[in-house]
Chains A and B, each alone.
Chain A
Amino acid sequence: MPATMTTTSALQSVLARQGHDGTRLMQILRETQEALGWLSPPVLTEIARDIGWPRARVESTAGFYSFFHTRPLGRYRVLWSDNITDRMLGNIDLMQAMCEKLWLEPGRVSEDGLVSVDTTSCTGMCDQGPALLVNYRAVTRMTPRRVEAMVDLIRAETPVAAWPAEWFAVEDNIRRKDILLGNALVPGEALAAALERGAAAMLDEIKRSGLRGRGGAGFGTGLKWEACRDAMGEAHYVICNADEGEPGTFKDRVLLTRYADLVFEGMTIAGHVVGAKKGLLYLRGEYRYLLEPLESVLAARRAAGLLGGNILGQPFDFDIEVHLGAGAYICGEESALIESLEGKPGRPRIRPPFPVTHGYLGQPTTVNNVETLAAACLVAKHGGEWYSKVGTTKSAGSKILSVSGDVERPGIYEYPFGVTVQQVLNDAGIEGCTQAVQVSGPSGVTLGQNELERRIAFEDIPTAGALMVFDCTRDMFEVARNFAHFFAHESCGFCTPCRVGTTVVARLMDKLATGHGSPYDIDEMFKMHRLMQGASHCGLGNSACNPMFDTLNKFRPAYERRLKSLDYEPAFDLDAALSQARQMTGRDDAAAHLANVEES
């Protein structure tokens, strides 16, 4: 099937816009798909030819990301966010209702090629779920009525652009402000202070501030910038990690919506310190709707002399570009993110070397979380000493938490480090009893009732920002099972323990869920935990069994309720397998069932 005229011209304009540059393959594929609906084999061939890459490498990238499709998936593609918080708000029933109205099975495309409905990993709308994406546009607060109306619009083939605007409204839900969210900085103020200090002095202030990375690992930002600055290279790069894929986390979304200037300003300050001319912000595909607003902030900053050449009249050039991801949690891992920025599948690199010496295009690169970069502005303005006095000795400054689940006021809460989990719960409002709190998402920790006095801090409970609350009616086994499936879906597949192990674990959880589990399977889960924790290539595989490990240790009855017997139980149910034979022979007497045969 030769590419048609319209296909060719649409494709050519994308390729021209992206400069026929293979390292921009992610953007090429996304824009092509936005124009053509899907990435057909001849289109991939044409892209490969144009950028001068082997076709297999282009297909390798196209096949890796959930939001790229190499087969048609309908003119309307509906993806229901499937985080546990969406489940608690009833997403599965709503999706089922939608499928029934459309005469569709989840995961299938309708016969007429009109629509497909499926689930996707957390879309970062946990405080306003159940959420979904329609043609990769975020929709919040789904209700049975919205489902009905949406089905009608799809049937009438109304363009998504003409759908009710309020469906696409995303609330910020900022509930508590502290030094960062309550800042009174105007655009350029922190940057001017940084330029006035000079790069070396600014680095000293960052070190003095004790600022540590907000992306999860908590690495000292000053040390990271210094290592990048000191590394030899043709060019240095600043990357802002806005992949925010950890289920239950949505604070970077709010920072990028309401404080974009602060984030870009932090990147610019980082650029000045490490000696970079270029910054890249890697935005998760789920936040596609933020692309145009972010680009207009960038344009305004250029117009104001805060980006581009001779920034603020100084001999300092720096500019920023936003790149979109395409549905892959692993791209939050910094080396996988860099691979993705280079147009490749997001598979974590072998480390060392680390990005600070060999990062984007092999050059010295500092990768920092959105919140880290925003916080750097406070340090530039007020100094390291000032910043270090907020929080605890080991955890300077404040932390933004994304609170969701069983609370009265889900949303964004900023506290100085050291706040207790109980304090957060009190502020967010809880009715009845809290059974568990998941801090830092599935790869973090599950806290039980007796641990709520613990503190949010690197020295106690470190967190990338998610805090999901489960009241006493929730089934903690189902929480862990949801997380197990998340990891199985998001494993990049590079290394054996995680690629196969996450699926083995998800299947074990399903086996327990259907009542076929035994204590043997629980031992198996611990065995997989021990294997994956040590042998995996990156943090995803290393922490993928955390939810099972924590819930098994703290909420054992939730598992034991489901055990069929105390002995070994095969996953294969022989009696159930005979049901077809029973149906065909019209028999359902006692002797036609295996268990009964054995007993008699």
Chain B
Amino acid sequence: MAGVTHGDIVQITPDAVAASLARGDGGFGRNQRSYYDHPVLRGAHWRWEIIWYFYIGGLMSGSAILAAAADTFGAEGDEAVVRNGRWLALVGAAISPLLLIKDLGRPERFLNMTRILKLKSPMSVGVWSLLSFSGLSAIAVLEELRGRGRVPWLLGGLLPRGPRNLAHALAAAFTGSYTGVLISATAVPVWNSGRRQIPAIFVCSAVATACAAQAALLALRGGSARSINKLERIEFVASLTEGVLLVDYASSAGETGNALFGGETGQRLRANTLVGGIAVPALLNLASLFTKPSHAGKPNVVKTLIAAGLTLYGGYVLRKSLIEAGRASADDPRAALRQPE
């Protein structure tokens, strides 16, 4: 349990000595690059709970942003986007804290998170942002119900519509992007070398997966073709931006990026996120870009569902790969001992 790992153990064998002499580094054991290849850093212990927390966090914040935007700027027919978005946000806001709590070493002490607000700690600001988001999502759904006469007794109009949407969207944007800051601002090389891209990638993926989920819901429940068209346009831009940022991340991280972009992790990320989750859905959605929403014909349910499924899966693989790459990177002494730029 002491974290002893056996990398390339340096042992004094005749071969090792001969190799060392051949290198001309003065004999065996000089010019060591690390201490027996033991990890220098420690990775985050995060497992499936946090992968899903990142994923659902993105999905729910993207949904809330879309709902707020549709409520503010949308036309007739976009009501379903508002309604579904608010409900998705609330469901997400109900699940995420449970995942966070489950992940703690001492779950019963979750409320210690609210002892203080610490601006320097992304974990602290994140928890506060999540809690505000949950509250605002509950208000949004209550307003939704009140608007349809389901709960006439409500205090209603607690906040006027404009500020309410704005606050919900802002809390959502912060909740969806702080997780990117959370991992970027660590000593883990593969994460901090992506600090320029990861938070933006998370925001793009949040919006893209939310568009996909919403479009799928609309397609399944016979929703408006215009709304689907609009969602597909937004998804197109968001996921292409995500793709460009991922490529930029891969090229700027260099060797340090190997934990994420190399080997099996890299292959899985390229296949499921870059190609499957971004390029293919973008091609499928391409037509929507050239059709005005008012000219959108009957929604192609099968196409929409395929595109949505691929996007949603790609977003999941993105979170999973990033979290697992963080551990691999922390365990790699070469990455940790490389001079930072």
Query: A and B bound?
Result: no
Query: Measuring CB to CB, which residues of chain B are less than 8 angstroms from any residue of chain A?
Result: none
Query: Measuring CB to CB, which residues of chain A are less than 8 angstroms from any residue of chain B?
Result: none
